[in-house]
């Protein structure tokens, strides 16, 4: 099982943009939580799909997502 449309890069990018648009700064935490839930539920393929979405969100974290003004994500310093 995978996230619908997340099997290709375009689907992952769109889902990441949508998560950022809806959840803003909380988008990485939502994706991480979904990956964790899937892993704990014994669905490793779904968990990997969410990790791919999380990775895409982090790549986009340098500024606002094109076409979605006001959806900036601040980089966390770790």
Q: What is the pLDDT of residue 9?
A: 77
Of the segments 3-7, 20-24, 66-70, which one has the largest average pLDDT value? 20-24
More confident residue, 71 or 55: 55
72 part of a folded domain: no
Q: What is the phi-psi region of residue 24: left when phi exceeds 0, alpha when psi lies from -120 to 50, beta otherwise?
A: left
Tell me if 35 sits within 8 A of 51, measured CB to CB.
Answer: yes
Domain range enclosing 46:
9-62
pTM given for the model: 0.70
58 part of a folded domain: yes
Q: What's the domain count of the chain?
A: 1
């Amino acid at each position: 099982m995978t996230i619908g449309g997340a099997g290709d890069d375009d689907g992952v990018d769109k889902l990441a943009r949508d998560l950022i648009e809806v959840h803003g700064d909380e988008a990485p935490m939502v994706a991480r939580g979904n990956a964790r839930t899937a892993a704990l539920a014994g669905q490793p393929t779904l968990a990997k799909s969410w990790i791919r979405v999380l990775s895409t969100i982090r790549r986009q974290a340098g500024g606002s997502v094109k076409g979605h003004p006001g959806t900036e994500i601040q980089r966390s310093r770790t």
